[in-house]
A and B are shown apart, each in its own frame.
Chain A
Amino acid sequence: DSGVTQTPKHLITATGQRVTLRCSPRSGDLSVYWYQQSLDQGLQFLIQYYNGEERAKGNILERFSAQQFPDLHSELNLSSLELGDSALYFCASSVEVAGATDTQYFGPGTRLTVL
């Protein structure tokens, strides 16, 4: 158990809908990363938040957005869903100490199926 929790574990929805994925980082970790894992694209970085502020963006679609709340949990919002958005979505957290190469710990993921 990495200490990172994600809910829900599975999500099935229809095209055009909107969903919210939730992540709680490990205790003490300030940084949250979101990754998408699909069969043909592997693990792709979407977005990073650090202590409530967006720090880096990867290949995140404009239909997707995220935020990190004062209690450090994060939510990933996916809207106008398309079939191709079906994937595993992982959140990872790290303590993010300046100058250090700290470990990213991954949660168990949310499997999104868009029908």
Chain B
Amino acid sequence: GENVEQHPSTLSVQEGDSAVIKCTYSDSASNYFPWYKQELGKGPQLIIDIRSNVGEKKDQRIAVTLNKTAKHFSLHITETQPEDSAVYFCAARKSSGSARQLTFGSGTQLTVLP
């Protein structure tokens, strides 16, 4: 089955700096890669996703890049703000077949220091 590794497990940055979180996946058939943000006491919330026919996607301060050959994808947050502090999860999924469950990375605790 799919295996997703995520690094780093914790990340502290100064407000205004950039943050980068990296994930690798094992199943070359995976073609959908969402990123979720989880705040304390809440469920994961989708912040951005990318499909395997696209190399990069941006949404304001957030961007995701995908390297299919190397089987890795990254989340980039620019101009970080204290409200960006949360746990971030990457995930991977195949969209063919009937099973579409997500396989998650282990999470990154991002702390933005004021």
Chain A contact residues, CB within 8 Å of chain B: 2, 4, 31, 33, 35, 42-45, 48, 50, 55-56, 58, 90, 94, 96, 99-101, 103-109
B43, A108: Cβ atoms under 8 Å?
yes
Q: Is the interface of B mostly helix, strand, loop or mixed?
A: loop
* B58 to A: closest C-beta gap in Å: 18
Using known A-B contacts A48-B101, A106-B36, A106-B45, determine if residue A42 contacts B106 with beta carbons closer than 8 Å.
Answer: yes
Using known A-B contacts A43-B104, A105-B46, A106-B45, determine if residue A55 contacts B98 with beta carbons closer than 8 Å.
Answer: yes
Chain B contact residues, CB within 8 Å of chain A: 31-32, 34, 36, 42-46, 49, 51, 89, 93, 95, 98-107
B100, A96: Cβ atoms under 8 Å?
yes
Set of chain A residues within 8 Å of B99, measured between Cβ atoms: 48, 55-56
Query: Can you identify 9 A-B contacts, CB atoms within 8 angstroms?
Result: A4-B43, A33-B102, A42-B105, A43-B107, A55-B99, A90-B44, A101-B31, A101-B49, A104-B46
* B43 to A: closest C-beta gap in Å: 4
Set of chain A residues within 8 Å of B44, measured between Cβ atoms: 43, 90, 106
A43, B89: Cβ atoms under 8 Å?
yes
B95, A33: Cβ atoms under 8 Å?
no
- Assembly CA distance A93 to B10 (angstroms): 29
B95, A100: Cβ atoms under 8 Å?
yes
Set of chain A residues within 8 Å of B102, measured between Cβ atoms: 33, 35, 43, 45, 104
User: In the complex, which residue of chain B has the Cβ closest to the Cβ of A103?
Assistant: B46
B34, A103: Cβ atoms under 8 Å?
yes
A106, B43: Cβ atoms under 8 Å?
yes
Set of chain A residues within 8 Å of B93, measured between Cβ atoms: 101
User: In the complex, which residue of chain A has the Cβ closest to the Cβ of B50?
Assistant: A101
